[in-house]
Structure 1
């Protein structure tokens, strides 16, 4: 009888191990990024600002797909709402800079906005303004999305969270907040979201660290202090800083000049850039 029990226990243990092995084998790329995000603070994550738009229109489906192809960790997308309450991906309040049209998005119907063509290097493309409903399933399981929420209404916030839940992507979304005091409100609405508040000064950082559900803080370089960044990282929270402008421009002028200067600052472990391919190449060379 005891031998039979041991055999049964061994068999169950083998089945459990086999199932666990299969589960590990079926992990998605997004799962692996999340593993790094939460458990590998030395792993520097790359975020593509308005998606990988060097060769494609910014905030376009083509730029999102390029971000995935490049194996960027995080894609930053700007969410706004049309006059008839459709959530779309667009950075500016108006369509003037990024499309072949003119006018405020908030005064346009989705049909009117959709009739426009996105620009790349001031030339019209075949790309149109995408909806949030379109980009989420493309990114699902492949890349994290940093939502730069520019819709600024409760209706838009509720609709955004509903869409995220529709695709079961709560864990895959980094939700950027310009006002960190809204973090508890958003957390109560959807606790699974990764909330990224922006800190404008040291006091903001100290206040944000009081919330144990915050795992990443957007830090302005203007108040970077090594001791403060160490405090953030020691709290098991990531430090997000932008390479946009200054460091990206240096890199454009002279290879490795911008990123080597940026990484002279310690404890930064998420970098947002307009040049994701160059940053990935730099990290692959310097970290290997």
Structure 2
């Protein structure tokens, strides 16, 4: 079934009635939203060809959100599968997650090197065993303990199929070869794009797994040129344009190469939306951002609702459960 964007009107009404100007208001919005009855909004691809088509820019593309660290809200901690499930009750989304490795070589979802901020445990991820990790509970951003456990990377890969696309942030302790092996073992090549932070890292990842999509930081014309010197095809690229808005002409230059842009609105730009109103998210999309990487995926999705074309060559990738 093709996606029906009318559901977001409900969210927009909730958000506008709650206000956007304080931490208390932000918590109220999340609590209010969590009571809305919805289905699951899915992004579905069957193979790498469809994934590349999804990420190939066209003038009728559908703008989407990327849920940073999975889109945590009160009661839903970062990098938890239950949190991913919560987000897609309200919007189709790309899920950004973080992968670290335990002392005994198990890949788990964890952003920090240390366990203290997001779990009931202590110590560094790379210095503890997976057996220990399994005893822990995740905590939300307010430090409240939840009933949710730390997922493995394999858990997330298996969960993602038929539901979302992933962008995978790889921590320094994780060998690319091991990450790629788990993606291939679970048949998740179509669902997992790997984030790289340098052209050297992108070249290495592409040499090891030329089939995978890569999220590569490209913020200016010079970096476009430097990227082209890597020899990586543009058909393997999603361009992360940084955490500051880029000129419309720059986004257009990437679009002319068939490339989707990801603007990181997490941080300062998300805070600006809270202070000034969520309509600024629509402005980013109107100037050429195709994906908004945000800590507020539900609110950002509501704000860009009117920018989805009524018909699109991408429609078949969006369904509702």
Q: Is the 8 A contact 1:229 1:268 kept in 2?
A: yes
Q: Which residue of 2 aligns with 1:122?
A: 143
Q: SS of the residue aligned with 1:31?
A: coil
Q: SS of the residue aligned with 1:123?
A: coil
Q: Which residue of 1 aligns with 2:237?
A: 215
CA distance in structure 2 between the partners assigned to 1:38 and 1:262 by the alignment: 19
Q: Which residue of 2 aligns with 1:278?
A: 299
Q: Which residue of 2 aligns with 1:17?
A: none
Deviations 1:125-150 (A, max 9, x none): 11111101111111112110000011
Q: SS of the residue aligned with 1:170?
A: coil
Alignment TM-score, normalising by the size of structure 1: 0.81
Q: How many angstroms does 1:260 deviate by?
A: 4.0
Instruction: List gaps (5 residues or longer) in structure 1.
Output: 1-27
CA 87–125 in structure 1, closer or farther in 2 if over 3 Å, else same = same
Where in structure 2 are the equivalents of 1:145-156 lying within 5 Å? 145-153=166-174, 156=175
Q: How many angstroms does 1:84 deviate by?
A: 0.6
Q: How many angstroms does 1:177 deviate by?
A: 0.2
Q: SS of the residue aligned with 2:88?
A: helix
User: Using CA pairs below 8 Å that are at least 6 residues apart, which structure has the higher relative contact order?
Assistant: 2
Q: How many angstroms does 1:191 deviate by?
A: 1.7
CA distance in structure 1 between the partners assigned to 2:308 and 2:157 by the alignment: 31
Q: Which residue of 2 aligns with 1:158?
A: 177
Q: Which moved more, 1:67-76 or 1:185-194?
A: 67-76
CA distance in structure 1 between the partners assigned to 2:57 and 2:259 by the alignment: 10
CA 147–52 in structure 1, closer or farther in 2 if over 3 Å, else same = same
Instruction: Give the count of matched residue pairs.
Output: 258
Q: Is the 8 A contact 1:72 1:276 kept in 2?
A: no
Matched, 1:139 2:160: yes
Identify which of 65, 74, 80 aligns with 2:85.
65
CA distance in structure 1 between the partners assigned to 2:117 and 2:217 by the alignment: 26
Deviations 1:191-249 (A, max 9, x none): 22101112355422221144324331111245833332221111111111111112222
Larger radius of gyration: 1
CA 221–64 in structure 1, closer or farther in 2 if over 3 Å, else same = closer
Q: CA RMSD in A?
A: 2.3
Q: How many angstroms does 1:39 deviate by?
A: 5.1
Where in structure 2 are the equivalents of 1:236-255 lying within 5 Å? 236-255=258-277
CA distance in structure 2 between the partners assigned to 1:256 and 1:57 by the alignment: 23
CA distance in structure 2 between the partners assigned to 1:256 and 1:38 by the alignment: 27
Q: Which residue of 2 aligns with 1:5?
A: none
Q: Which residue of 1 aligns with 2:187?
A: 168
Q: Which moved more, 1:206-215 or 1:93-102?
A: 206-215
Deviations 1:10-43 (A, max 9, x none): xxxxxxxxxxxxxxxxxx8422884442253532
Where in structure 2 are the equivalents of 1:3-42 lying within 5 Å? 29-31=43-45, 34=51, 35-38=53-56, 40=58, 42=61
Q: How many angstroms does 1:261 deviate by?
A: 4.6
Q: Which residue of 2 aligns with 1:14?
A: none
Matched, 1:227 2:249: yes
CA distance in structure 2 between the partners assigned to 1:69 and 1:161 by the alignment: 29
Q: Is the 8 A contact 2:282 2:304 kept in 1?
A: no
Q: How many angstroms does 1:287 deviate by?
A: 4.2
Identify which of 205, 213, 224 aligns with 1:186.
205
CA 192–67 in structure 1, closer or farther in 2 if over 3 Å, else same = farther
Instruction: List gaps (5 residues or longer) in structure 2.
Output: 1-41, 310-321
Q: Which residue of 2 aligns with 1:9?
A: none
Q: Is the 8 A contact 1:80 1:89 kept in 2?
A: yes
